[in-house]
């Protein structure tokens, strides 16, 4: 078994790691992860060694994956959690997501565990949100695959990531580097928690355009060339850079991999310096797929350039406002026209208005989420409706001289040192609104009050229709539309 044959390597690395622990007390804590794929056992397995600095108290809490992207009990993918040192004790607690580690004070702590796929059958949505460990490739992220000592999101850390015994036909791709088996990171812990890790039979395509450097790591067979996919993806990056008035060069990894089906599903997730995109095998980059990608690219700024999020309580903004903008970005890029854009907006309205749970309070949603009974999509549709309402109120109050865009830009430019909380977001979004509108905004977010639809869009861009037998919807106005996005398409 490869794992046991690599003990000497691990011991040598651990000793080398321990020898560097003489830095001053104020230096960032150090972590090392060693990933070793094992494809010879009964099921594909990723062996993981975790080495970190112990504290003077001689005890630490180990955090296991629990929930992410609507999936629960993610700790079921973590097996054989144990200590590699007889002087270190690992004890389960009443919380399956927490283990207690006891060790001699200030000693290095060496923990091992195995990461496996805790599901069987074909890969279909939403299984991609759980760790994927297969004979052809491995994909996981910091939230669903890493066991780690308890750390504050903004705690500075120094980390090493090493991949050992990787098959010669495989390549490594992660938020911290590609095509190298040894990667380093020095920064805040949340950047590792939000990181993407992939290894397997990936093909790499590199493109560069207007300050964007894109590495596409693709696997599987597609109806389009890798180069075409990379160029279409980077074109969306250019448009979003323009929206955010971004001038510094960026470099991103996009991991593209197929579902086990020919058509019918697509999904994506944004991570630190990267994106994971799933498509059905015979899908192309049509409007739905580009809209999904525009959503994930938007996350580069919302929330990652705005601050550290304080958990799911801000999903109404991080996901919902991003949902509102993703199709506006396509409109800005000329990848859709205004009537098509309104149809996609009407889809959001239909999901929100037809939901029996649309009046859940924020507290009710969080509680039900913890008990596995929450409507996962509620923050997306509610948040998008809130974004539309705020956008229209700002436009009407400023006679179309201002919009929600300026509020979004201000959140990036004034990135706070405090977590990105609902109260902070409401304070920024309420600037310029009337006292009555500010109160209404808070009631939409916290109390689940139904969000009203304006009868007419500002800038002559749409009129509301209320069919007696279906959801309300917008239709294009007969007058010329002066919306800054719509004008890109000549409307």
Could you report the per-residue pLDDT of 37-86, keeping only the tens digit for each?
A: 999 888 999 999 999 999 999 999 999 999 998 898 999 999 999 999 99
Average of pLDDT values for 213-229?
Answer: 93
pLDDT of residue 31: 96
Q: State what percent of residues in the chain have pLDDT above 70.
A: 92
Confidence band (pLDDT; 50, 70, 90) for 375? Answer: low
Confidence band (pLDDT; 50, 70, 90) for 226? Answer: very high
Q: Quote helix, strand, coil % in the chain, to nearest 5.
A: 35, 25, 40
pLDDT of residue 19: 46
Confidence band (pLDDT; 50, 70, 90) for 373? Answer: low
Interacting residues of 146 by C-beta distance below 8 A, sequence separation 6+: 33, 65, 140, 192, 193
Q: Do 246 and 274 form a contact (C-beta atoms < 8 A)?
A: no
Q: Give the Cα separation of 178 and 104 in Å (integer).
A: 37
Average of pLDDT values for 7-14?
Answer: 45
Among the listed residues 298, 229, 294, the one whose alpha carbon sits nearest the alpha carbon of residue 258? 229
Indicate if the pLDDT at residue 350 is higher than 90. Answer: yes
Indicate if the pLDDT at residue 279 is higher than 50. Answer: yes
pLDDT top residue among 199 and 209: 199
pLDDT of residue 23: 40
Q: Please work out, in degrees rounded to the nearest 5, the angle formed at the alpha carbon of residue 292 by the alpha carbons of 419 and 231.
A: 110
Q: Do 438 and 446 form a contact (C-beta atoms < 8 A)?
A: no
What token pair was written down for 132? Answer: 């994927």
Can you list the alpha helix ranges (DSSP code H) found in 146-286? Answer: 189-193, 226-244
Q: Do 273 and 190 form a contact (C-beta atoms < 8 A)?
A: no
- pLDDT 10s digits, 138-195: 999 999 999 999 999 989 999 999 999 999 999 999 999 997 899 999 999 999 999 9
Indicate if the pLDDT at residue 386 is higher than 80. Answer: yes
What are the phi and psi torsion angles at 358 (to 5°)? -65, -20
pLDDT of residue 310: 66
Widest distance between CA atoms in the chain: 77
Confidence band (pLDDT; 50, 70, 90) for 483? Answer: confident
Four-point Cα dihedral 278, 284, 286, 292, nearest 10: 10
Indicate if the pLDDT at residue 6 is higher than 70. Answer: no
What are the phi and psi torsion angles at 72 (to 5°)? -125, 165
pLDDT of residue 487: 66
Confidence band (pLDDT; 50, 70, 90) for 372? Answer: low
Q: Do 137 and 198 form a contact (C-beta atoms < 8 A)?
A: yes
Average of pLDDT values for 316-325?
Answer: 96
Q: Give the Cα separation of 48 and 36 in Å (integer).
A: 6
pLDDT of residue 7: 41
Helices 435-442 and 422-429: crossing angle, nearest 10°? 150
Q: Is 429 helix (H, G, I), strand (E, B) or coil?
A: helix
What token pair was written down for 406? Answer: 């300026």
Confidence band (pLDDT; 50, 70, 90) for 136? Answer: very high
Average of pLDDT values for 9-25?
Answer: 46
Q: What pTM value is reported for the model?
A: 0.84
Question: What sign has the CA pseudo-torsion 443, 445, 451, 454?
Answer: positive
Number of other CB atoms surrounding residue 373 within 10 Å: 8
Indicate if the pLDDT at residue 26 is higher than 70. Answer: no
Average of pLDDT values for 464-482?
Answer: 89
Indicate if the pLDDT at residue 21 is higher than 50. Answer: no
pLDDT of residue 66: 95
- pLDDT 10s digits, 293-310: 899 999 989 998 898 876
Lowest mean pLDDT among 26-30, 105-109, 266-270, 405-409: 26-30
Q: State what percent of residues in the chain have pLDDT above 90.
A: 68
pLDDT of residue 484: 75
- pLDDT 10s digits, 234-266: 888 888 989 999 888 778 899 999 999 998 888
Q: Is 76 helix (H, G, I), strand (E, B) or coil?
A: helix
């Amino acid at each position: 078994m490869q794992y046991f044959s690599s003990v000497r390597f691990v011991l040598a690395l651990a000793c080398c790691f321990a020898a560097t622990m003489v830095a001053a007390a104020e230096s960032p804590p150090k972590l090392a992860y060693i990933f070793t794929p094992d494809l010879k056992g009964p099921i594909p397995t990723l062996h993981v060694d975790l080495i970190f600095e112990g504290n003077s108290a001689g005890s630490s809490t180990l955090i296991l994956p629990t929930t992410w992207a609507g999936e629960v009990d993610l700790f079921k993918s973590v097996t054989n959690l144990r200590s590699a040192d007889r002087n270190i004790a690992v004890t389960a607690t009443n919380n399956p997501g927490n283990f207690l580690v006891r060790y001699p004070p200030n000693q290095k702590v060496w923990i091992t565990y195995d990461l496996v796929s805790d599901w069987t059958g074909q890969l279909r949505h939403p299984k991609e949100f759980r760790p994927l460990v297969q004979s052809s490739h491995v994909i996981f992220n910091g939230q669903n695959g890493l066991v780690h000592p308890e750390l504050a999101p903004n705690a500075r850390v120094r980390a090493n990531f090493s991949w050992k015994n990787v098959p010669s036909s495989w390549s490594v791709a992660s938020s911290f580097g590609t095509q190298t088996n040894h990667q380093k990171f020095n920064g805040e812990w949340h950047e590792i928690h939000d990181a993407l890790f992939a290894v397997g039979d990936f093909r790499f395509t590199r493109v560069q355009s207007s300050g964007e450097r894109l590495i596409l790591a693709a696997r599987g067979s597609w109806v389009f060339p890798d180069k075409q996919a990379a160029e279409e993806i980077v074109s969306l990056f250019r448009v979003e850079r323009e929206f955010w008035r971004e001038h510094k060069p960026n470099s991103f990894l996009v991991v593209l991999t197929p579902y086990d089906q020919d058509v019918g599903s697509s999904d994506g997730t944004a991570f630190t310096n990267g994106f994971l995109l799933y498509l059905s095998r015979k899908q192309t980059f049509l409007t739905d797929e580009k809209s999904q990608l525009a959503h994930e690219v938007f996350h580069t700024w919302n929330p990652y350039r705005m601050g550290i999020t304080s958990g799911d309580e801000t999903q109404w903004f991080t996901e919902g406002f991003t949902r509102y903008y993703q199709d506006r970005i396509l409109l800005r890029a000329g990848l859709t026209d205004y009537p098509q854009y309104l149809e996609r907006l009407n889809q959001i309205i239909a999901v929100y208005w037809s939901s029996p749970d649309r009046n859940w309070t924020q507290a009710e949603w969080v509680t039900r989420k913890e008990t596995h009974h929450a409507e996962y999509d509620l923050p997306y549709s509610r948040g998008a409706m809130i974004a539309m309402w705020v956008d229209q109120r700002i436009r009407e109050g400023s006679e179309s001289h201002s919009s929600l865009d300026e509020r979004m830009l201000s959140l990036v430019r004034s990135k706070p040192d405090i977590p990105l909380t609902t109260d902070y977001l409401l304070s920024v979004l309420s600037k310029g609104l009337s006292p009555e509108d500010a109160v209404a905004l808070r009631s939409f977010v916290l109390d689940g009050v139904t969000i009203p639809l304006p009868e007419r869009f500002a800038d002559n861009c749409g009129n509301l229709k209320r069919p007696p037998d279906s959801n309300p919807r917008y239709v294009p106005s007969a007058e010329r539309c002066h919306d800054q996005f719509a004008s890109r398409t000549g409307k």
